Structure 1
């Protein structure tokens, strides 16, 4: 039964794939379902306190990762940012069902994401970055953040402030073929940066936190942030797209690029 999860309750046993683990109240006997992992690492039996009858989905590593307990579904304190190497960052997230969007647990996840992004601070965050494999992103760029960068860089990046955006199940498409090369960093790969080529103009459709359809037309740096965060939902980090010989520590960001590297800016 390697790679499977055995779901054990008082009345039945069922085998399901570990791509989705779930916890659910057993209404018949008022006990919580027990989960037995039959995959590696060794089998563990865990019983979680549940607050509703709804199913709670986690990634396939949820049982053995302490980080999963830190997400908005399990407690109120802001969770930690998951770092590169955790499988949740390298696997596709699942869409949020329409009837889940206004639920307390999804709203708690969104609130957690906003708090974590602002505390870091950062200009964007995807749900997998707090260990939750759902297609939710938040982003925000402020005058204060922009003031920390050099004026010539801000102008070259076409960077402008924008208010908080919360997008569930975002679908991104390019509007034009224009691209640009600039350095990017990531809260899940902290301490490093690399040059990534991104489209300059994109359109994103999805739902806001109230479940209403939204469409965002973005250009410049906002378009880059949207592409970066949507990549997270597909299990892609910026290092998967970077120009390899541009990878460096944040302390070395001002050192010149090697001669073999492309120049920064629009192409």
Structure 2
């Protein structure tokens, strides 16, 4: 259990962030906070402050917009992330990527492990690396273990795009960016994505940009 002296700097940092009226500032790649990893959540924030912080993360994620946000992305090195995906995509994209709606969830101290050996590769982006996307091969199915914001245990299997979101956000908490796992030959600006790579799967990109898919 963390001591009061350990809790004070993090709580003060969160209070400072919540003093503003708008969404939180999303930190871009290059800031060391995104690479240091995080400390497990162990009551460093009082319940009311945790609830306010979670709500601020949710608002920030919505306004970005994105489908996930990890605490380090707003400058707080705690092992907390939020995810939510209404999945407003065409049916062909939903089918190809396994992208189905996900309700709002708070992941406290999450970890994941692969289920089976399946892997899937798709273009992926990040709010901390704005303007760019790259193909990342990830586990097609993972088992997530964590707690929710009320401290209740979560043990659930995710597949398809929800599994990708879980892996992406949990990686943030370990000091990893999606680019660490990406096929760098696939790296594309958002403008190039709109011009060339709007297909549901990255097969055409793999051929044109000369990279391999799993």
TM-score category, normalised to shorter length: 0.7 to 0.9
Deviation, structure 1 residue 150: 3.8
Deviation, structure 1 residue 101: 6.0
Q: Which structure exhibits the higher relative contact order, with contacts defined as CA atoms closer than 8 Å and separated by 6 or more residues?
A: 2
Runs of 4+ in 1 over 4 A off after TM superposition: none
What are the residue-to-residue correspondences of 1:16-165 with 2, within 5 Å?
54-57=7-10, 72-74=14-16, 75-77=18-20, 78-97=23-42, 99-100=43-44, 103-142=47-86, 146-147=87-88, 149-165=89-105
Deviations 1:162-190 (A, max 9, x none): 21110100011111110011000001101
Q: Which secondary structure does the structure 2 equivalent of 1:246 belong to? A: strand
Residue 173 of structure 1 is matched in structure 2 by 113
TM-score when scaled to structure 1?
A: 0.69
Deviation, structure 1 residue 76: 3.6
CA distance in 1, matches of 2:192, 2:94: 19
TM-score when scaled to structure 2?
A: 0.85
Q: Which secondary structure does the structure 2 equivalent of 1:225 belong to? A: helix
Contact preservation (8 Å) 1:172, 1:202: yes
Aligned residue pairs total 199
CA distance in 1, matches of 2:180, 2:102: 27
CA distance in 2, matches of 1:237, 1:163: 24
Q: Which secondary structure does the structure 1 equivalent of 2:14 belong to? A: coil
Q: Which residue, 210, 224, 228 being the options, matches 2:168? A: 228
Contact preservation (8 Å) 1:128, 1:232: yes
Q: CA RMSD in A?
A: 2.3
CA distance in 1, matches of 2:209, 2:187: 14
Residue 158 of structure 2 is matched in structure 1 by 218
Bigger Rg, which one:
1
Deviation, structure 1 residue 109: 1.9
Deviations 1:30-71 (A, max 9, x none): xxxxxxxxxxxxxxxxxxxxxxx952238xxxxxxxxxx8x6
